[in-house]
Structure 1
Amino acid sequence: MTLQACASTEVPLGQASFAEYRQQTIAWMQENRTFQTTDHPAEIEWNAPREWRPKAPATRGILLVHGLGDSPWSFNDVGEALAAQGFLVRTVLLPGHGSKPADMLEVTLKQWQQVVREQTQILEREVPTVYLGGFSTGANLVLDYAYEHPNIAGLVLFSPAFKPANTYAWVTQYIGWFRPWLAKPDDGVRPMQTPVRYLNVPTNGFAQFYRSALLAQMHLDKGAYDKPVFVAITEHDSVLDTGYVLDTFNARFIHPFSRLIWYGNEPAPGQKNPKVVVRNDFLPEYRIARFSHMGLMFSPANPLYGVNGTQRICWNGQSSADMQKCLNGEPVWYSDWGYREPGKVFARLTFNPYFEWQSGVMMEVLAYP
């Protein structure tokens, strides 16, 4: 793949090294991205594949894969935490991302699988022990690869989208040809994207997400996964079927070191076991009504998404009047998409007050062997 090819709308794949992959992806973004701020270099860096190297030579590595509409920024804090514990950490940018939502109109699940496969194999040539991690759709992609490749040492899964909460998600596979967008683009109401994520995704993007969920379910239906797995989910996730994830964890992730963090109310007695750790997600001291699908991976100190972050997501399933109050900088509460209470304005929760503790649990899982 040449740099000339990177200047086209075809996303660069097939590189021989991570450095080449990062370089060509940056060149592609520079040609294709719809920038959201005047600081173009910062936006490129936030969305580009990234690497964290530990201080000492690494013997363990982990590849982290973001979710639908997101970017490598999803792992800004997780990557730093893992590198501090000796991991060589890398992220990828899934094809169709990092530029503009319309670039997802023709993307395929096979392209997403290809970048995971290529960059995992490159990482395996550099360190003897490789883990995979993913958020949402990315969790489906790494689970797919891990089931097919037993040399993967374990998994780190944030809000794994094994099964969508929307029971009509399957329809997206068939309607894209006559309805390319579920929500009309550039309608003057819904913003299209932020500096680090898309807020509107073509129908085809949702279709590929759904297909990734089917892949995950296919593997999980076949049998158990015996490597250590760390999972973090919130009970009130608006995107995924959290009950399915919890039941799947208990039935399929059988390694004794595996742990699932459940943010919310206590699960039913039949779903709770010593490998499931519960934390309350109603934290009024932070003005948090409930945790969100995307917020689990970010420290309260994150410069974009933290308590004092610059990226407040006001498009959160509320009235246009409340959204405008949020945009105007008025005091808000935080929640997942679509949650409302009378008299309160809600922004999306984009940080996790338990982040440091969560990172400690994650590292305990990854301490094996």
Structure 2
Amino acid sequence: MAAVPSQAAGMPLGQLRFEDYQYDTLQWLERHRVFQTQNRSAELSWNAPQQWRPQGKPRRGILLIHGLGDSPWSFHDVGARLAEQGFLARSILLPGHGTQPADLLETSLEDWRRVVAEQVAILQREVGQVYLGGFSTGANLALEYAYAHPEIAGLLLFSPAFKSDSLYDWLTPWISWIRPWVLGSNSERPMQNAVRYLTVPTNGFAQFYRSSRVARRELQQRSYDKPVFMVVVRHDSVLDTAYLMESFQTRFTHPASRLVWYGEPPVAAAADDPRVLVRSDALPERRISQFSHMGLLFSPENPLYGQDGSLRICWNGQDEAATAACERGAPVWFSDWGYREDGKVHARLTYNPYFDWQTQVMAEVLEQGATPVRMIQATKAP
């Protein structure tokens, strides 16, 4: 069956096999991507849908959904670890992504829902049990689909964007046609790097807001009783993390569910909740001032975003002098967007020092979701 173009920048959708979807998307990216490096083949691979197969015939699968402005590279490390645990893991590319930020000008939440629904259906034909995983806006899409489809076995939610910390996000659907770019497409802010957008048009934020509103509505109406593995950074620069803590404790009711929380908890009660696992996000021995929204997904060994990775994000909410020093290769500290401290230059923290421990907790949640529940004895973090 021939692929049917999406209304979002012409991305081909409608395939009946993942391999066809992957191939069609790769060909489409080659024609439409604004490349950021000389290594075009690598960029194509990083931004195209990916698949990680376990040894033997898989019985369980998981579909992984990236966030606003991101790409399938978000799950480069998580997907590989899931395959080691016996999952057929797949990542998708949301319409409007992987090419250039302007392709989000006409993209809609419905476009994103379509590719999720198509790829879940394909995965369900191949394995007996399907989970969903999502990062940021992708977590909203995963949650919405899981609420509507009780056959989904559980969720992995990384920095879930259920609620923004902005008081004005509700305005974005109303102003997107008046002001297409919040900062302007010709601003000094860089537009994109090899694996993600660094600038997003207003319509992208509007569709994120729509997805978050749906997620909050679902959470308000009823609890979710399947296993959930959730990871949150206390000092997240874009999310209302107190709301995320409350949502986990009151709405995600399965005994095997776990919330990994980096940073001090917002309420004392969290310390007494055995399902909440807290680790410090201030690691001066690693020159880390605080964890970031995006960093929790990546291993320290990640070739682009790891401790010695080749892709440093210097545009981090600092003044021009600090940004320039970072770009020249000066010694830096690491943080989330917007953190400042006298005498220190901060780049974005793009990896998670606790990644191996986090992966083990994730594996235990997934395993107990399929077996009689016992209390997880969390491995001591490094």
- TM-score tier by shorter-chain length is over 0.9
Q: 2 CA distance for matches of 1:4 and 1:125? A: 20
Residue aligning to 1:114: 114
Deviations 1:57-94 (A, max 9, x none): 10000000000000000000000000001000000000
Counterpart for residue 24 of structure 1: 24
**In structure 2, do the counterparts of structure 1 residues 2 and 359 end up closer, same or farther at CA, with 3 Å as the change threshold?**
same
Unaligned runs of 5+ in 1: none
Query: Counterpart amino acid of 1:229?
Result: V
- Residue equivalent to 1:56: 56
Q: Which runs of 5+ in 2 are unaligned?
A: 371-382
In 2, the alpha carbon distance for the partners of 1:214 and 1:232 equals 20
Query: Residue 297 of structure 1 aligns with which residue?
Result: 297
Give yes or no for the alignment of 1:256 onto 2:255. Answer: yes
Cross-structure match for 1:141: 141
The question of 1:68 aligning with 2:68 is answered yes
2:233 maps to 234
Matches within 5 A, 1:1-369: 2=2, 9-187=9-187, 189-272=188-271, 273-367=273-367, 368-369=369-370
User: Tell me, what secondary structure is at the counterpart of 1:292?
Assistant: coil
Distance 1:30 1:349 in 2: 30
**Does the CA-based 8 Å contact 1:247-1:271 persist in structure 2?**
no
Cα shift readout 1:236-276 (whole Å, capped 9, x = no counterpart): 00111000000000000000000000100144223441100
Q: Distance in 2 between matches of 1:341 and 1:163?
A: 27
Q: Check whether the contact 1:9–1:32 (CA below 8 A) recurs between aligned residues.
A: no
Is contact 2:9–2:107 with CA below 8 Å preserved after alignment? no
| Paired amino acid for 2:306 | G
Q: Is the Cα contact below 8 Å between 1:62 and 1:132 reproduced in 2?
A: yes
TM-score normalised by the chain length of structure 2: 0.94
1:25 counterpart SS class: helix
| TM-score, length-scaled by structure 1 | 0.98
User: Counterparts of 1:87 and 1:9 in 2: how far apart (Å)?
Assistant: 32
CA distance in 2, matches of 1:85, 1:4: 34
Answer whether contact 1:3 1:27 (CA < 8 A) is retained: no
Answer yes or no: is the 8 Å Cα contact 2:5–2:13 preserved in 1: no
Structure 1 residues 293-315: Cα deviation after superposition (integer angstroms, max 9, x where no partner): 00001000000000110110011
Shift of residue 31, structure 1, vs aligned partner: 1.0
3-state SS of the aligned residue for 1:61?
strand
AA of the residue aligned to 1:322: A
C-alpha RMSD of matched pairs (Å): 1.3
Aligned length: 367
8 A Cα contact 1:55 1:86, kept in partner: yes
One-letter amino acid matched to 1:215 = V
Shift of the alpha carbon at 1:5? 5.5
Shift of 1:159: 0.2
1:359 Cα shift?
0.1
Give the whole-Å Cα distance in 1 for the aligned partners of 2:350 and 2:66: 15
* Corresponding residue for residue 376 of structure 2: none
Partner SS, residue 156 of structure 1: strand
Question: Contact conserved, 1:54 with 1:88, CA < 8 A, in 2?
Answer: yes
For the 8 Å contact 2:68–2:208, the answer to whether it is kept is yes
